């Protein structure tokens, strides 16, 4: 039925397409996509042929309004080049406008590199914060890391091979005590996930420049904040274990 369908597609391994994604891509009237060549290949692989409409969030208001208007009478699937649309990918404005026009919006969930990275890394996942791509410029990157360093969750970034070394160097400087994970080429032949201190990973990837796509994760700050009662108890413990001569010197 008419509306907008947000369809997740594989992040590398074509086997990761869901049954529902295939069903919706087969039944829709058109597919809005970032790159018609990339989506054309996926559709061909699935044995499907639909009109492919190029769309990204830089589209003019007029083009977006026309696309939303078409959803009054057509089923339009939105896909990105890989993974879940809207996750560091276009679609936010389209979804917002469709909702404003009371057009039905349906999510067909599936692969997402950030989630795959969180689950593989072994870092605490009770709370994690997805923070997209780090800025490319050193100063801006350092500022973002300093700000996010205060957040008490695992931080999840998208990263590219050529930029990884500089990001790890910045983490060494700004968040040196954290545990870090680099999840690379997820779901693909050369999938790997390395964990360790920022220094250890900076050394490793300095010697082995990484290829392919990367999720960079930074574990949460270690110490829990100490409340007043805890502080008193810790102090009492520490004093009790001091040798008499040390205690006298206090
Ligand atoms: N919407 C996508 C998703 O749901 O994961 C992300 C799109 S974003 C433009 C592309 C970035 O996602 C890459 O630079 C990389 O950081 C990450 N990524 C995508 N596929 C990946 C994979 N197979 N392994 C590791 N990271 C991946």
Separation CA 137–CA 223 (nearest Å): 30
Per-residue model confidence (pLDDT) at position 242: 72
Q: How far is the CA of 81 from the centre of ligand 1 (A)?
A: 9
- CA 110 – CA 130 distance, rounded (Å): 17
The answer to whether the CB of 140 falls within 8 A of the CB of 240 is: no
Angle (CA) 213 179 134, round 5°: 45
* Separation CA 175–CA 145 (nearest Å): 8
Quote the pTM value: 0.89
Nearest ligand 1 atom to the CA of 83 is 4
DSSP character for 124? -
Helices 161-174 and 138-148: angle between axes, nearest 10 degrees: 50
CB 8 within 8 A of CB 85: yes
> Which residue among 39, 213, 216, 217 has the greatest number of ligand 1 atoms within 8 angstroms of its CB, and so is best to mutate?
213
The rounded Å distance from CA 113 to ligand 1 centre is: 5
Q: How far is the CA of 10 from the centre of ligand 1 (A)?
A: 10
Residue from 15, 39, 42, 83 to probe ligand 1 pocket by mutation (most atoms less than 8 Å from CB)? 83
- Give me ligand 1 centre to Cα 80, in Å: 11
Residue pLDDT, tens place only, 10-44: 999 999 999 999 999 999 999 999 999 999 999 99
Residue 198, classed as helix, strand or coil, is: helix
C-alpha 29 – ligand 1 centre gap (Å): 27
Atom of ligand 1 nearest to the CA of 157: 16
Which residues have C-beta atoms less than 6 Å from ligand 1?
Answer: 11-12, 80, 82-84, 87-89, 112-114, 158-160, 183-188, 213-215
Give Cα separations from 137 to 90, 131, 134, 167 (angstroms): 23, 16, 9, 10
31 in Cβ contact with 75 (< 8 Å): no
pLDDT at residue 240, rounded to an integer: 76
The ipTM, to two decimals, is 0.99
3-state helix, strand, coil in the chain (%, to 5): 40, 20, 40
Q: What is the DSSP letter of 51?
A: -
Atom of ligand 1 nearest to the CA of 114: 5
Report pLDDT for 234. 63
Residue from 6, 80, 88, 217 whose mutation best tests the ligand 1 pocket (most atoms within 8 A of CB)? 88
For ligand 1, what atom is nearest to the CA of residue 113? 5
Q: Give distance in angstroms: CA of 9 to centre of ligand 1.
A: 11
Residues of the chain with pLDDT under 70: 223-234, 237-238, 241, 243-250
Element (H, E) at 174: helix 161-174
């Amino acid at each position: 039925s008419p509306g907008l369908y947000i369809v997740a597609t594989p992040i590398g391994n074509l086997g990761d397409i869901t049954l529902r994604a295939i069903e919706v891509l087969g039944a829709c009237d058109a597919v809005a996509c970032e790159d018609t060549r990339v989506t054309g290949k996926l559709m061909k692989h699935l044995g499907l042929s639909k009109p492919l409409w190029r769309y990204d969030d830089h589209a003019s208001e007029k083009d977006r309004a026309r696309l939303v208007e078409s959803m009054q009478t057509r089923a339009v699937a939105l896909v990105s080049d890989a993974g879940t649309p809207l996750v560091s990918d276009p679609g936010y404005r389209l979804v917002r406008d469709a909702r404003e026009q009371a057009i039905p919006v349906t999510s067909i969930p599936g692969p997402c590199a950030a989630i795959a990275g969180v689950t593989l890394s072994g870092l605490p996942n009770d709370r994690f914060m997805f923070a997209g791509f780090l800025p490319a410029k050193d100063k801006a990157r350092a500022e973002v890391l300093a700000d996010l360093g205060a957040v008490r969750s695992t931080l999840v970034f998208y990263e590219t091979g050529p930029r990884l070394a500089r990001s790890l160097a910045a983490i060494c400087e700004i968040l040196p005590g954290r545990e870090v994970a680099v999840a690379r080429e997820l779901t693909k032949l050369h999938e790997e996930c390395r964990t360790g201190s920022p220094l250890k990973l900076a050394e490793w990837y300095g010697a082995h420049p990484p290829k392919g796509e990367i999720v960079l994760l930074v574990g949460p700050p270690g110490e829990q904040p100490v409340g007043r009662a805890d502080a008193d108890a810790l102090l009492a413990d520490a004093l009790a274990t001091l040798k008499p001569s040390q205690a006298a010197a206090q």
